[in-house]
């Protein structure tokens, strides 16, 4: 569970990106942050795994302040997927996926199994793709690897910042379907940033609508479409 208690963020240049946020993301929930460009979505996301510091307020994960976690422990337990996933170009797909498991000293056999299982989950044949280099995959396939890489070490939660926005509409829809399947299988607490309402309605358990650094509305897709 992630709790925002009066969280604000002012950048050094005086921009108030996020203003007094109060909300809770429940265990196992798929929570979507939506709103126009510049409304504070990315800032909100990046504060959760301490990529940027808060100016005010407190974020708790499972009741413990994020500032009290060991930074490595925090980052390892939170998978992070960016808009432009950057796979390591000189490593194979398998090596890319096992970066965090390696750091956690998983044994070879366990890592092999995990890579196999994850590639299958997103419809990439492990025999074919595990040994390839990123440039031998299409953009959509690389993005899928980016998503499963974030899941590799079985983190408690996962943050995604417009992970599909660079893709063509067909790849995008495929990946949304993959993610729906992953969501059902894994039940991970997920915070997903998008500016696409169709995407939000398709994926979310709850949607948080932001504007100018504030929350306008939080509700299930049903609640939002009934009271737009
Ligand atoms: P979104 O993800 O919704 O597009 P952001 O969180 O990226 O919004 O940005 C929120 C506001 O904070 C915007 O006005 C943006 O220009 C500003 N901002 C983001 N990052 C910085 C930064 N490093 N320094 C100053 N202002 C920033
Ligand atoms: P996003 O797609 O995540 O909103 P942006 O293109 O807005 O990304 O920002 C890219 C990077 O530039 C981020 O690290 C963000 O913090 C930073 N940034 C965004 N707006 C500003 C700003 N007004 N001043 C300084 N840095 C900014």
Q: What are phi and psi of 87, to 5 degrees?
A: -80, 150
Look at strands 2-10 and 56-61 and give their pairing: antiparallel
Nearest ligand 1 atom, CA 46: 6
Q: What is the pLDDT of residue 216?
A: 96
In testing the pocket of ligand 1, which one of 8, 11, 159 has its CB within 8 Å of the most ligand atoms?
A: 11
H helices of the chain, in order, are: 41-48, 71-76, 93-97, 99-103, 108-121, 126-129, 139-151, 169-186, 197-203, 221-226
142-146-147 Cα angle (round to 5): 120
In testing the pocket of ligand 2, which one of 18, 37, 42 has its CB within 8 Å of the most ligand atoms?
A: 42
Q: What is the pLDDT of residue 227?
A: 64
**What angle in degrees, to the nearest 10, is found between the helix axes of 169-186 and 108-121?**
130
Q: What is the pLDDT of residue 226?
A: 86
In order of 57, 94, 103, 166, 180, the CA distances from 183 in angstroms are: 30, 22, 25, 21, 5
For residues 40 and 153, what is the distance between their CA atoms, to the nearest angstrom? 29
Q: What is the pLDDT of residue 95?
A: 96
Ligand 1: centre distance to CA 149 (Å): 26
Q: What is the pLDDT of residue 211?
A: 97
Cβ proximity of 213 and 198 under 8 Å: no
User: For the chain, which residues score pLDDT lower than 70?
Assistant: 227-228
Residue 76, by phi and psi: left (phi above 0), alpha (psi -120 to 50) or beta? alpha
For residues 60 and 2, what is the distance between their CA atoms, to the nearest angstrom? 6
Residue 6 CB neighbour total at 10 angstroms: 12
Ligand 2: centre distance to CA 9 (Å): 14
First to last CA, the chain: 27
Select from 111, 122, 142 the least CA-distant residue to 185. 122
Nearest ligand 1 atom, CA 213: 10
């Amino acid at each position: 569970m992630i709790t925002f208690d009066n969280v604000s963020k002012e950048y050094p240049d005086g921009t108030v990106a996020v203003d007094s946020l109060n909300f809770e993301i429940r265990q196992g929930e798929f929570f979507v942050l939506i709103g126009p460009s510049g409304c504070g979505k990315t800032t909100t996301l990046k504060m959760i795994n301490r990529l940027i510091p808060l100016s005010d307020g407190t974020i708790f994960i499972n009741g413990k302040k994020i500032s009290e976690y060991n930074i490595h422990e925090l980052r390892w337990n939170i998978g992070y997927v960016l808009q432009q996933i950057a796979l390591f170009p000189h490593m194979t797909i398998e090596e890319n996926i096992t970066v965090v498991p390696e750091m956690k000293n998983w044994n070879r056999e366990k890592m092999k199994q995990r890579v196999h299982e994850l590639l299958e989950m997103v419809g990439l044949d492990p025999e074919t793709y595990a040994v390839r280099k990123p440039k031998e995959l299409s953009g959509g396939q690389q993005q899928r690897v980016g998503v499963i890489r974030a899941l590799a070490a079985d983190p408690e939660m996962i943050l995604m910042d417009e992970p599909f926005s660079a893709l063509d509409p067909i790849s995008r829809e495929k990946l949304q379907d993959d993610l729906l399947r992953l969501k059902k299988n894994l039940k991970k607490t997920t915070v997903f940033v998008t500016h696409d309402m169709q995407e939000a309605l398709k994926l979310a358990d709850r949607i948080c609508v932001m504007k100018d650094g504030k929350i306008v509305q939080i509700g299930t897709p049903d609640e939002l479409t009934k009271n737009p």
